[in-house]
Amino acid sequence: MSAGWREQRSRLRKELRRLDVFFFLICTLVGLDTIGSVAAAGPQGLTWMAVLALVFFLPYGLLVAELGSTFPVQGGPYVWTRLAFGRLTAGINQVLYWLSNPVWLGGSLCIIALTTWEQFFTPLPGLWKYAAGLAFIWAGALAVVQSVRVGKWVPIAGAVARIVLLGVFLVSVVVYAGRHGVHALPAGEFAPTYAGFLALVPVLIFNYVGFELPSTAAEEMTNPKRDIPLSILRSGLASLLLYGGPILGILFVLPAERIGSLGGFIDACKAVFTVYGGHIAADGTVTLTGFGAVLGSIAAAGLIIGLLTSGVTWAMGAHRAQAVACADGAGPAWLGTFSERHGTPVRVNLLSAVLASVLLIVALQLTDGDGEKYFAAGLGLTISTTFISYVVTFPSLLVLRRKYPDTPRPYRVPGGRAGARLITFLATGLVAFTVVVLIWPGFGVGWFGTGGSAADSLPEAFAGQRLQYTLSQVVPLLLFLVVGLCFALLGAPARRRMRAGAAAGELPDGDGRQASPTGRAVRSTGR
């Protein structure tokens, strides 16, 4: 890594312990914004959830556990890709990983938060919707810039909010079932279909990713080699329970025709809380009264906090990795600065908040305030942008095993070389396939005897508007790639200084030592 990063490295503070990392991952993995999308697919959503837990979630966790414990260096995915494929590839790839966060925060997270507020509190007409959305974004920005000692309480609060909210919801489902009964779930509806797979694979895999985020702050952890693998195992098991239970509860409570991708979880909460006060009209309209209304308001606040902390937790990781990349010469040097006071990349944080704010305003204008359309386009773009970066990052496992075979590996993927190849193929192949499905919904439907129509796979808000939906994905992706290339050009002066220093006999870190891939300084051999 460059001398520019060595200067910033001294500002990091070791404040993250094992329990902090566990809560960090719970806040990352249990996404409240996708629960409704999975439930909207019906009982087969649970079937595909179990299948993908085996063929993606497990391999992905094993892959990150080895990379994170073997190369516990600040920047995580950027450093792995940098060691495997070089600074240019890693820099452009990191821009995609970073930009997915403001797209997500200003997109699907923001629109669900606004929808929740309107359903439980008060409507947001006209400019009030913009004001509330901007307040949501900048509250997150304020949390991200704080020091690790303060900022780590955000994912802790988010994890606790999830556990309490989902726990209260499940208890309420049991009470509701005892009083009103539940909807039958015929065994045949659990049968998986290819069309159902195409609809679910993006949101399910998206809800399964995030294991690499603690590694972006590896040098702020007290013992990353030990804590990363253990936290991945524990949080993975916990997230399956926290995610699967509410989906099953929604299916029991709401009729299939009333489950929407945007409001499925919100509507289910309102329905089950009627057991504490309120009623459901013949047309399905829910009215909460008394303690039901109080509990509904508390749950709505918890949901909004959960959504905000999801964005903040991802930002804490993605922004750190982007700042490391810029300090290393893969982007503009002024973005690679960590605050001496907070030890966080304040400039990247503020730039991300500005981008999320612009996205919110533009998207609301383009969709004429249509929440469903805004949600579908924003979530699809977030997932595809993140997954394109994974297509490059995941193969780093195999490359780094070949390039650095003697680097101590506290944890290794079982099965030797064949095991490493298998999990890399599964993880990389599924995220690559998901990108294709997101850009062209319905890919493969009707082929080789499969039933259904490709047009039916479009998001409901874009029914009959394939070109409009495809452009909403492709145009921003091309723009993000251009931004990545521009970042590479802006990092050129720093790279020239590195080459000049190398020609003058100076080593990259400028003090006669060369950093090993694990971050441990070793004496130069003089070659």
Q: List, for residues 43-78, the tens digit of each pLDDT value.
A: 888 888 889 989 999 999 999 999 999 998 889 999
For residue range 100-145, list pLDDT tens digits in order: 999 888 887 888 888 888 888 888 887 888 899 899 999 989 988 8
Residue by residue, DSSP assigns 261-321 as: TTTHHHHHHHHHGGGGSEEE-TTS-EEE-HHHHHHHHHHHHHHHHHHHHHHHHHHHHHHHH
Please tell me the distance from the alpha carbon of residue 159 to that of residue 165, in angstroms, as a whole number. Answer: 10
Which of 67-76, 136-145, 271-280, 321-330 shows the lowest per-residue confidence on average (mean pLDDT)?
A: 271-280
Which of 25-34, 132-141, 255-264 shows the lowest per-residue confidence on average (mean pLDDT)?
A: 255-264
Radius of gyration of the chain (CA): 23
- Using 50, 70 and 90 to split pLDDT, how confident is the model at 451? low
Give the mean model confidence (pLDDT) for residues 315-334: 90
Please tell me the distance from the alpha carbon of residue 458 to that of residue 372, in angstroms, as a whole number. Answer: 13
- Using 50, 70 and 90 to split pLDDT, how confident is the model at 503? low
φ, ψ (nearest 5 deg) of residue 278:
135, -175
**DSSP classification of residue 512:** S
Is 53 in contact with 200 (CB distance < 8 Å)? no
Is 355 in contact with 99 (CB distance < 8 Å)? yes
Pick the CATH number of 3-501 from 3.40.50.10420, 3.50.50.60, 1.20.1740.10, 3.40.190.290: 1.20.1740.10
One-letter amino acid identity for 83? L
Please tell me the distance from the alpha carbon of residue 209 to that of residue 29, in angstroms, as a whole number. Answer: 6
For 182, other C-beta atoms within 10 Å of its C-beta total 15
Token duo for residue 259: 């489950």
Q: Kindly give, in sequence order, each residue whose CB lies less than 8 Å from that of residue 490, ignoring residues fewer than 6 positions away.
A: 331, 332
φ, ψ (nearest 5 deg) of residue 280:
-115, 120
Is 463 in contact with 261 (CB distance < 8 Å)? no
**Helix (H) or strand (E) run with residue 523 in it:** strand 521-523
pLDDT of 404 reads: 93
Counting residues of the chain whose pLDDT is more than 90, the rounded percentage is 24
Please tell me the distance from the alpha carbon of residue 260 to that of residue 274, in angstroms, as a whole number. Answer: 20
Give bridge partners of residue 280 from the DSSP assignment.
Answer: 286
Give bridge partners of residue 521 from the DSSP assignment.
Answer: 515
Give the mean model confidence (pLDDT) for residues 200-205: 84
Please tell me the distance from the alpha carbon of residue 28 to that of residue 397, in angstroms, as a whole number. Answer: 22
Please tell me the distance from the alpha carbon of residue 383 to that of residue 183, in angstroms, as a whole number. Answer: 32
pLDDT of 422 reads: 95
Q: Indicate the pTM of the whole model.
A: 0.84
CA-based nearest residue to 247, from 496, 20, 34: 34
Please tell me the distance from the alpha carbon of residue 314 to that of residue 287, in angstroms, as a whole number. Answer: 35
One-letter amino acid identity for 227? D
Say if residue 495's pLDDT is above 80.
Answer: no
pLDDT of 369 reads: 57
One-letter amino acid identity for 158? G
CA-based nearest residue to 16, from 315, 317, 239, 307: 317
